[in-house]
Structures are given as structure tokens and as C-alpha cells.
Amino acid sequence: MQSVDSAEALTQEILIRLDDRYAAMFVRIWRPAGTPRATVFCLHAFTGNGADFDYLATFLCRNGFLVICPDLLGRGRSAYLGSGYDINVYAKCLRALGEFASTENHFIGTSWGGTILLLFLQMTRSKASKIVLNDVPMLGGPKVDAMRDEVLKESALAFPTRAAAKNYLSATNDVVRPIEDKVFNRYIENRITTGPDGFRLAFDPATTGNFGAMTGREYDLFPIAAKIDAPTLLMYGRASQAIDRQAIERMRLARPDLWLVDNIDAGDPPSLMTLDQALLILGFLTAV
């Protein structure tokens, strides 16, 4: 199978104005040669960052797309706030990305990133050309609570060496395989940061501050997705804990333009780091 060699993105820090201060958001910008055919905004999962999309962004950029991959506040190389993380903070992050918008704007959201995307589009009535929701838990409940519990445990982890952190991530993220070693190693490196106790996973532990209040809370994102006037692709891995096929079928009655690929053998969530997944997304974005 043909590989997609990684390349380097341009980077930029954008100042996000909060109530009484500014915070820097780190953004990777993949700019194609010539005039972009459209802009693609990529939103990572809760504990992820924009580097999770390096493989996909390289591929889409080489096919003519301008690709924007932020580290949302509290993740990766962006500022850690220490408290106050809520939908309003993340909405400010997404509004700040408006400087990269074009006449045609696509959005890709993995897991929590897709949730933030749907809430943002509902809040702001922003226009999306096409949307990819990668393993997004559209319904709240015990499975989502269990996911939060795992994140909460990871937020407290500290490692004495970078190698120990890499070993942990390699063991716990083996579900994203099979992908090329160099792609996986790049992904792992960007998931580690230094902390006061040595090395940590690259997200602010304070981002989990509202998890207790959310436990047991049910929600339904399908009505929001159904009202957004944009063709939508739902992607789920074969082992997904987030999919509800009955709810998806109900949504398809209202939205026959909904695309569904629900048997991807590439991790939970699908890694977006293999050529077949990149081709799937390219085909969706370029379909008439």
C-alpha cells in the first residue's frame, strides 16, 4: 500500500481573549501549492492535539486543501489555563480560526472534538460545507461516563522519563494500529509534555474539572446534527463503544444525505493515519 510521507506544517500562535486575560493557541497550518480548493478544520479528541492529524493533513494538503489543525486550549503546545474550561472557551478558540476560512469550509472532529464542533455550529449558526464526525459519542450515558473515568485517571499520571511515557502510550494506544512506525512514533511524541513531576500526557489535568457534574448526565446530539445543513459522514471503528446504530437509522430518515462507515478496522477511534481512511475522507470531501 502506498504511504504518505509526513511533512512539516507552518505554525502560528493565536491569542484568544478570555474574560480577564489572553491565552495562546498553537495552530498547525498545511498550505497547498496554488489556490486551495477549500479549507479543512480538524478538531482533536479530548486528550489529543492537532498533531494527531499530521498524516491526514499531509494527504489532504497534497490534494489541494488548506488544512488547519489547532491544539485547543489546554492541549498540546497551547496555553494551560488551570481552570475555567467550558464550551464558551472552546467556542472562542473556534471563532479565532475564522481568519483561515474560505468560501468552502469543511470540518473533521474526532470524538470530543466532534461534540465541540456540533455545539459550536449550533451556538453560532456557522456554515459548514461538509462534516466528518469520527467516533463521536452522539448519545450520553454509562459508556461516555466510563470514557471520562479513563481520561480522569490519565490526567493524574506522571512518568519519571520520556521513555516511560512512550511505553505507556504505546501499550494503551496499540488499538490504533496497524499504521506505519514513523507515523505512530510521531503521534506518540506529540502526546508527551514535561511537567513538575517529570513527564505527563500533553493535556491540562484541569480540563477534567467538570467531569463530576457531568457523570450520569444524558444528552443527544442527533437533533443538532440533523438540523445542520451540511452533508455529514459518520465514521466508527469495528470496536467502537460510541456507536448507536438504531439512533443513526432514525437520523437517516430525516437526513438521507448522511454517510455512514461503521466497520473500520483501525482502532477506536479510527486513527485517520492510514491511506484507506485518508482516501475515504478525500472521497467524501470531493464528492458532488
CA dihedral 228, 264, 248, 134 (to 10 degrees): -30
> Domain with 126 in it: what CATH number?
3.40.50.1820
* 71 belongs to a structural domain: yes
Return the SS3 of 21: coil
Render pLDDT for 91-102 as a digit per residue (tens, 0 to 9): 999 999 999 999
Q: Look at residue 180 and tell me if it is in a domain.
A: no
In a domain, 159, yes or no: no
Q: What angle do CA 199, 271, 213 make, to 5 degrees?
A: 65
What backbone torsions phi and psi does residue 139 show, to the nearest 5 degrees? Answer: -120, 135
**What is the pLDDT averaged over residues 85-114?**
97
pLDDT grade, residue 4 (50/70/90)? low
CA distance 197 to 157: 9
Q: Is the link from the previous residue into 142 a cis peptide, with omega within 30 of 0?
A: no
- Whether residue 37 lies inside any domain: the answer is yes
Other beta carbons within 10 Å of 259 = 18
- The verdict on whether omega for the bond into residue 223 sits within 30 degrees of 0, i.e. cis, is no
pLDDT score of 220 more than 60: yes
Question: Does any domain span residue 184?
Answer: no
pLDDT of residue 3: 45
Q: How far apart are CA 188 and CA 53, in angstroms?
A: 12
Question: So what's the pLDDT on residue 174?
Answer: 58
Q: Is residue 212 part of a domain?
A: no
Residue 2 lies in a domain: no
| Whether the predicted pLDDT of 2 surpasses 50 | no
CA neighbor of 156 nearest in space, from 90, 209, 79: 209
Structural domains of the chain, count? 1
pLDDT confidence of residue 141: 93
Nine cell digits for residue 263 = 466497520
Q: How far is CA 104 from CA 65, 128, 156, 259, in A?
A: 10, 8, 41, 19
Q: Give 42-101 as a DSSP string.
A: EE--TT--GGGGHHHHHHHHHTTEEEEEEE-TTBTTSPP-SS--SHHHHHHHHHHGGGG-
Name the residue range of residue 105's domain.
Answer: 10-141+220-286
Beta bridge partners of 233: 132, 259
Name the burial class of residue 213, with classes exposed (0-12), middle (13-18) and buried (19+) by CB atoms within 10 angstroms of its CB.
exposed
Block residue for cell numbers 498540546: 76
* Statement: residue 67 has pLDDT above 70: yes
Establish if 151 belongs to a structural domain.
Answer: no
- pLDDT tens, position by position, 149-163: 999 999 999 999 999
The grid coordinates listed for 73 are 486550549
